[in-house]
Structure 1
Amino acid sequence: MGDLVLITGATGHVGFHVLLHALDTGYTVRAAVRSQDKADSLLAVPALKHRQVGSRLSFVVVPDLTKPGAYDAAVQGVRYIIHVASPLPTDGLTTDQFEAELLEPAVQGTLGILVSAQKTPTVRRVVITSSIAAIVPGGALDDGADTVFTAASRTPTPPVSSLQHPFQAYAASKVKALNETEAWVRRETPAFDVVNVFPSYVMGREEVHPTADRLTSHGTNRFLLGIALGAKSPVPAPGTTVHVDDVARVHVGALDAKVPGNTSYLVTSNNSVGSVDGTVWGDAAKFVAKNFPDAVASGALPNNGTQPSVALKFDTSKTESTFGFTHIPYEEQVKDVVGQYLEVVG
């Protein structure tokens, strides 16, 4: 069996694809879950069940990732850690909840797993799921920028008092977690490497909860599906997307000793190979018309929704050269997301 890797957040969209990719690559996986029920539900997911991984997959229950020492038992004997778990924004959060519900859990969960890893001599590398929101100033996320962002870009943590809506608070949680992680590494100089991965809006098949309601109301796939289903969004979103398979590929690929550690990697697709210009959300309509003409003609896909884009620029050349791939383009993301929706409702 392959080296043992601990994966957190495996019940989520990104985390589950990371889990599958790690197993397919030959690793033995220990997945941290909040309860045994969560483990049982994962084992019932067809994409995992059909792989028949047997003893190469085990689970460890970590009920509260913010509790000191929460991961001490989970990291015992592991060689690698992929830390995906982090709180996501919900529409009902109020400004007085931002710090307790988003910022502190993101920071404490990440620092907690690093502290536990430091107690475990077998750990060689920790890969952390961050976000492009961690390296782009809040104003640019709202209004766009001509700056070309790279994996080396950084931005200061904004004061909590400046945060006005849940997405801003989520972005701030990613900024703070990244900044405090890098400060911890400089201060502690651990024996293991740390790699930060910065995905953009993640698109692709939802394997864990593929219901029509969830696809259209939860996660980042809903932005794309809204265009196909006629939703009229007045709120601009950063024009930057990535296929979930590319995100999983980089997380697992970063475990390879040939990949430089103590560095960071952007994972996002641009509008053409070699470009730094990001996604235009509205382009989904032409890809839907091209690839699903019957569904459009029948009215199953009205294909007249709107989603304004915030123009951002990212240089992903470092990622593509290090890992040896070209990011899956926006059209393929559209085909996978809309195709799954039609399967579910059809």
Structure 2
Amino acid sequence: MHGIRQDDINNILDFIPDMHLSILISGVNGFIATEVALAFLEAGYHVRGTVRTQAKADAWLALPSFVPYAASGKLGCVLVGDIVAEGAFDQALEGIDYFIHTIAQLPDWRSGVSQDYEKSILIPNINGTVSALRSAAKSPKCKKVVTVSSIAAAADFSVHNHTEHITGESWNPRDYEYGKNAPHPLLAYTTSKKLADEAAWKFMKETKPHFALVNMLPCFVYGPTHGHDPFGINNGSNQWLAGPLFRADWNFQTTSGGPVLVDIRDLCTTFVRVVEKDEANGRRFVLGCSNVSIFPSDFVSIFAKEFPGRAHLLPSVPVDLVNTPVFTIDSSETERALGMKFRSPEETLIDTARWMIDNGGEQAWKGVETRY
């Protein structure tokens, strides 16, 4: 069934007392959304998440980090099956103060797979974002909508070397026709992220709703996680860290990842502060460390130095490897406006690698078929 179940709404409408601020997070069982939800819960907010099926809701609420919050009534899930349907989020937003929209349709990365980029990527990502904003416009209590975009909305990934820093003022120049006929599924996806942001700001300009909009532009996200796929085995972004750490056969020629990363812990801090700071309203923020370009092939030397006992287990990096696209970001305005400092890539990589080693990542990756 499309949309949210009325029984679910009836059960949760009273679960957020008036004295507590409330957050709606779409696609709450995703990698980024899971950590953002936990960050808001720890900051004292009440969280309502959307998922597509009851089975996914049950599985996510059963994660150890979330059981106490669900039991205390501070956390709940509702079903939204079709995010582009008219009014998809109307009922889910009832009584909500802030809306964090994280859902995006990814392409099928497998070699040789035929797909219609317009139908499978562009339309869902553009219309899904606008659908979220239309629902927020019907919710008088909603003060702010924060969308999880991507650095790809600001940087053209088809350009191999960028000569200027990417900032919150930068825009990927690719248009709809390019996205429909992109030479690679990654470029269809990156174009869709730009177009979704563009559509969101157009909606704000034309309708002038009562809420503020903020775009978050994370780079490749790594870090310890509390979700279902902690080591990135099922195509989560942690795969580009775990692969070089645990697989001697990791293929740097065919796997993505880079050139800028952001620690999931820093990302969560930015989301909480964006909600709490009026200065963030109406802006786009790049998330990650300034002036650093780093790829998974660069991780190997960091791991070898930090974990010398594992050096012989690490993959070799082809001498003719050419990593693209190469660019850096300038996140100084993000740090100033939100009062924070991003971790260095080395700190993120070492912390996350040690966490994976200590929590069974190596054993988990041993059973993964080579598909990268």
**TM-score using structure 2 length:** 0.83
Do residues 83 (structure 1) and 101 (structure 2) align? yes
Counterpart residue number, 2:165? 148
What amino acid is the match of 1:76? E
Counterpart residue number, 2:16? none
Do residues 302 (structure 1) and 320 (structure 2) align? no
Do residues 177 (structure 1) and 196 (structure 2) align? yes
Task: Say if 1:96 and 1:39 are closer, same or farther in 2 by CA, change over 3 A.
Answer: closer
1:122-161 paired onto structure 2 within 5 Å: 122-140=141-159, 143-158=160-175, 159=177, 160-161=179-180
1:1-40 paired onto structure 2 within 5 Å: 2-40=20-58
Q: Map Cα deviations across residues 297-318 of structure 1 (whole Å, 9 max, x no partner).
A: xx5x324356753320211001
Q: Distance in 1 between matches of 2:237 and 2:37?
A: 19
State the 1:329 CA deviation: 1.5
Indicate conservation of the 8 Å contact 2:229/2:236, yes or no: no
State the secondary structure of the residue aligned to 2:215.
strand
State the secondary structure of the residue aligned to 1:15.
helix
Counterpart residue number, 1:54? 72
Say which is worse superposed, 93-102 or 220-229, in terms of deviation: 93-102
What amino acid is the match of 2:237? T
1:127-276 paired onto structure 2 within 5 Å: 127-140=146-159, 143-158=160-175, 159=177, 160-210=179-229, 215-216=232-233, 218-228=235-245, 229-230=247-248, 231-235=250-254, 237-270=257-290, 276=291
State the 1:96 CA deviation: 4.0
State the secondary structure of the residue aligned to 1:265.
strand
State the 1:219 CA deviation: 1.9
State the 1:163 CA deviation: 0.5
State the 1:114 CA deviation: 0.4
Counterpart residue number, 1:278? 293
What amino acid is the match of 1:45? L
State the 1:95 CA deviation: 5.4
Q: Map Cα deviations across residues 253-309 of structure 1 (whole Å, 9 max, x no partner).
A: 111144330111110124xxxxx232243331222123322333xx5x324356753
- Structure 2 spans left out of the alignment, 5+ residues: 1-18, 364-372
**TM-score using structure 1 length:** 0.89
Percent of aligned positions with the same letter in both sequences? Answer: 27
Indicate conservation of the 8 Å contact 1:199/1:266, yes or no: yes
State the 1:238 CA deviation: 3.9
Q: Distance in 1 between matches of 2:75 and 2:302?
A: 38
State the 1:332 CA deviation: 2.3
Counterpart residue number, 2:137? 118
Q: Distance in 2 between matches of 1:85 and 1:161?
A: 20
Q: Distance in 1 between matches of 2:233 and 2:153?
A: 26
Length, aligned pairs only = 334
Indicate conservation of the 8 Å contact 1:5/1:79, yes or no: yes
State the 1:244 CA deviation: 1.1
What amino acid is the match of 1:317? S
State the 1:88 CA deviation: 1.9
State the secondary structure of the residue aligned to 2:48.
strand
Task: Say if 1:29 and 1:51 are closer, same or farther in 2 by CA, change over 3 A.
Answer: closer
Indicate conservation of the 8 Å contact 1:157/1:179, yes or no: no
Task: Say if 1:202 and 1:226 are closer, same or farther in 2 by CA, change over 3 A.
Answer: same
State the 1:34 CA deviation: 0.9
Counterpart of 2:350 (choices 308, 319, 335) is 335
Indicate conservation of the 8 Å contact 1:94/1:165, yes or no: no
Indicate conservation of the 8 Å contact 1:95/1:165, yes or no: no
Q: Map Cα deviations across residues 131-182 of structure 1 (whole Å, 9 max, x no partner).
A: 0000112422xx1211211101123343134302221111011011011111
Q: Distance in 1 between matches of 2:240 and 2:90?
A: 38
